[in-house]
Structure 1
Amino acid sequence: MTTETGQEKLARLLEVLDRQDILDCLTRFSRGMDRFDRELFLSAFHDDAVIAAGPFVGGPGELYDWASALHDQGQVATHHNLLNVTYDIDGETAHTETYYLFVGRNRDETNWIAGGRYLDRLDKRAGEWRISLRTNAVEWSGLVPTLDIPFTDIPDIHLNGTPGRGKGDPSYRRPLTNLRAPQIP
């Protein structure tokens, strides 16, 4: 049985911290897009990043403007769900493959679902991981049956906040509190 040295343990710990920082970066992109939070979205990218997504090829600010207008025109809600992530970290550069599941509630009351993978190169600059290059491999897409959104008939369902795009969404409220009375159905 081989025992890890202190140096080897430290190297593994530093890699775990890098992986977590990279995952936090990837999550900022998704949350920023879904909440229409431009500042959060842009914090996932270096200013000189290049993104190739569908017909779009350009920088982070241009991507946000194009994608948020596209989503605002087409959907009332979106979820950019991140799934499996693989990491290849080499010093201050990392390559990731992130499976995603996109779901959108369209303005015409249909639901769009798509899956694919984000292929990213991230660079650690000034101690912070951000995306430098992103490509998007869309692998499938379709419509799923529309059902009524559950629980909308409960009178106090939105006392803790109404889901929405922007900083009015209850996920931004600090401290998070419960304003609904106890009730057990």
Structure 2
Amino acid sequence: MTMAPERLARLERLADRQDVVDCLTRFSRGMDRLDRDIFLSAFHPDAIIAAGPFVGSPPDCFDWAAPMHEAGQVATHHNLLNITCEIEGDTAHSETYYLFVGRNRDDSNWIAGGRYIDRLERRDGEWRIAFRTNAIEWSGIVPTMALPFADVPDIHGNGAPARSKDDPSYRRPLVNLRDLVTPG
């Protein structure tokens, strides 16, 4: 069975777009897990990042941001929302709305929103960010509430959240370690 050229071109565009989204996601996961290798895998080695007062290379950005997040928060979530992506050949321009949430060490919660504006390039068949700028549009502190289900004795039986490779998201194979229970 042969595929129509228009359909094949559309599938190639979708595959490229998914590769771009996967790249953007690696940045968020790398920052939230404080995993330098995953963070760096989202950027070309010669990329430039402009984030707040920082303007420089991906390794220098991680070395600046990770200690700041580690000292200030016990957890961070870089949530990616609406993503537009314009691909032309081996260059893509994307705008990604984000919602940042940090559980601060003083038990307050910091929330901020904005947009990552990126130029990505496909080099050697791999999409990575070549330039990123961050448009921070709002920020605030929200009240803290008790975490839900904190009183469940084995709530972390499948692994406690961690900002390291101890996080359950790294475990392979991922299997249930908790007893089966239907609350009632």
TM-score after normalising by structure 2 = 0.97
Give the secondary structure class of the aligned counterpart of 1:31.
Answer: helix
Instruction: Give the deviation of 1:162 after TM superposition.
Output: 0.6
Q: Which whole-Å CA distance do the structure 1 matches of 2:59 and 2:85 have between them?
A: 26
For residues 84-116 of structure 1, what are the alpha-carbon distances to aligned partners after superposition, in whole Å with 9 as ceiling and x for unaligned?
000110100000000000000000000000000
Let me know the Cα RMSD of the aligned residues. Answer: 0.7
Give the secondary structure class of the aligned counterpart of 1:23.
Answer: helix
| Residue 10 (structure 1) aligns with | 8
How many equivalent residue pairs?
181
**Structure 1 vs Structure 2: percent identity of aligned residues?**
69
| Residue 64 (structure 2) aligns with | 66
Q: Which whole-Å CA distance do the structure 2 matches of 1:121 and 1:64 have between them?
A: 19
For residue 161 of structure 1, the aligned residue among 144, 159, 162 is: 159
Instruction: Give the deviation of 1:47 after TM superposition.
Output: 0.1
| Residue 133 (structure 2) aligns with | 135
Instruction: Give the deviation of 1:151 after TM superposition.
Output: 1.1
Q: Unpaired segments of 5 or more residues in structure 1? A: none
For residues 52-77 of structure 1, what are the alpha-carbon distances to aligned partners after superposition, in whole Å with 9 as ceiling and x for unaligned?
00000000000001110110110000
Q: Equivalent residues in 2 for 1:71-110 (5 A)?
A: 71-110=69-108
| Residue 37 (structure 1) aligns with | 35
AA matched with 1:43: S
Give the secondary structure class of the aligned counterpart of 2:161.
Answer: coil
AA matched with 2:22: D
Give the secondary structure class of the aligned counterpart of 1:50.
Answer: strand
For residue 20 of structure 1, the aligned residue among 7, 10, 18 is: 18
| Residue 178 (structure 2) aligns with | 180
AA matched with 1:75: Q
| Residue 55 (structure 1) aligns with | 53
Q: Which whole-Å CA distance do the structure 2 matches of 1:184 and 1:15 have between them?
A: 45
Instruction: Give the deviation of 1:164 after TM superposition.
Output: 0.8
AA matched with 2:12: L
| Residue 148 (structure 2) aligns with | 150
Q: Which whole-Å CA distance do the structure 2 matches of 1:155 and 1:9 have between them?
A: 53
AA matched with 2:161: P
| Residue 124 (structure 2) aligns with | 126
TM-score after normalising by structure 1 = 0.97
